[in-house]
Amino acid sequence: MKPIRITAVSYYNTLPFIYGLKHSGLLSGFVLSLDVPSECARKLIADEADLGLIPVGALPGIKGYQLIGNLCIGADKDVKSVLLLANIGLNMLKTIYLDSDSRTSVNLVRILAQKYWKINPEWKSLSKLTGKLGSDEGMVLIGDKTFGLCAQYPFCYDLANEWIKFTGLPFVFAVWVSRKTLPDEFVKSFQAALSWGIHHLEQSVIMAEKLHITPEQLISYLNNDISYPLDKPKMKGMELFLGYLS
């Protein structure tokens, strides 16, 4: 049997998952690649991966997907790594630059702008930002590069918290997905390995190749800001988000 090809996001918040897959000893017969969220989705769609940690915003473009297991990358309060940074308040923003690494965050900020903040800024790719933000501009950034940035801007909006204020529901950024039926024993072992990684969360910090924060801050982030169970409130929040996308 060919190894199961797994693609996962290469951010801090995935470290417990990666640690469990690589070090629990509970899973065999797989190969793992680490990618940005958009690349995880592309690989699954292109059949370059059998199983992936996929941005929820990419799910509508994946035919016949199945959720695997009951764990996710989610938030039930500030997530601290999906931010809208700006030099001016929301009501006066004219332009927002978007981080293309994750379709989920791009869609999330657009939904919040239309449904909650009631603003209609011009949207531009972050790649078009060649210098500093203008006085009436903001930008959406995600992932490890966001740490420490809130203090550098007059206005910092945590998009997970904004969604929770808007809907009263937690937010799900990424879920484990396959487009094919995987062997039952593999799925059980996969889930067990992920759970083992979460239970060894503090040890998973050794997997971080570049640290933008201290190990203690990273452990606190994983323990307190990321919520891993894909429970009923998160499923409800995810379904509402997907409903907005449709």
| Domains with residue ranges and CATH for the chain | 4-76+171-245 (3.40.190.10), 82-167 (3.40.190.10)
pLDDT at res. 176: 98
In tens, the pLDDT along 147-204 reads 889 999 999 999 999 999 999 999 999 999 999 999 999 999 999 999 999 999 999 9
| pTM (predicted TM-score) | 0.94
Other C-beta atoms closer than 10 Å to the C-beta of 135 total 10
Instruction: With beta carbons less than 8 A apart as the criterion, state whether 69 and 187 touch.
Output: yes
The pLDDT of residue 101 is above 80: no
Q: Percent of the chain scored above 70 by pLDDT?
A: 100
The pLDDT of residue 242 is above 80: yes
Instruction: With beta carbons less than 8 A apart as the criterion, state whether 134 and 95 touch.
Output: yes
